[in-house]
Amino acid sequence: MNLPSHGLREVSFKDGTTIEIGFPDNRINNLFWGDMHHEVLGSQLFVDARNGLRARLQFSPPGRKGLPSDYFEGVIERFDPAKPRGGGAGGVDDRGVRYWDFRTFSKATSSSPPALLPSDSRLRPDRNALVEKNIKLAQAEKLRLEEEQRQQRKLREQKK
């Protein structure tokens, strides 16, 4: 699923500086099943009108083969132009200085809500067997669930 983005958001600082930040495009694969995969694409613009600065990041730059999909290149324009390079899973470097490194941040883990609804797909035995790569059990559980659903449908139709 490709998600083109439009518009700006603003970040304001105590000194009165406001930076406008554009939205890059996104691509999300395997949204409904399998391992979800998210990529940031296109370019993102940052504008600091008060200080006359503009930064542009190009995600997955065209013509750059063999690099990770989260790789970007950028340019900061006006005073001392900088050309940061890096990636979301690595870090951001400019002229031999590391400005950001993913490894220095504490890692947050996704967590389930304290109480899952009985209909939550994470509770499905066929899905969980598939996640564990137990294909035979996953197929057997899927068939069992389908048969159970057919029986429930028959009971509903009998009540009509």
* Consecutive 10-residue averages of pLDDT for the chain (160 residues): 86 92 88 83 87 86 76 76 65 73 64 79 90 93 93 90
Q: What pLDDT shows up at residue 69?
A: 72
- Report if residue 73 sits inside a domain: yes
The CATH number linked to 26 is 2.40.160.120
- Report if residue 116 sits inside a domain: no
Question: Which residues touch 34 (CB under 8 Å, ≥6 apart)?
Answer: none
Question: Are 96 and 153 in the same domain?
Answer: no
Number of domains in the chain: 2
Contact status, residue 27 vs residue 41, Cβ threshold 8 Å: yes
Question: Are 65 and 144 in the same domain?
Answer: no
Q: What pLDDT shows up at residue 144?
A: 94
Q: What pLDDT shows up at residue 143?
A: 94
- Report if residue 48 sits inside a domain: yes
Label residue 72 exposed, middle or buried (CB < 10 Å: 0-12, 13-18, 19+).
Answer: buried
- Alpha-carbon span 4 to 2, nearest angstrom: 6
User: Which residue segment(s) compose the domain that 148 sits in?
Assistant: 121-159
Strand (E) or helix (H) holding 143: helix 135-159
Q: What pLDDT shows up at residue 103?
A: 65
Question: Are 67 and 134 in the same domain?
Answer: no
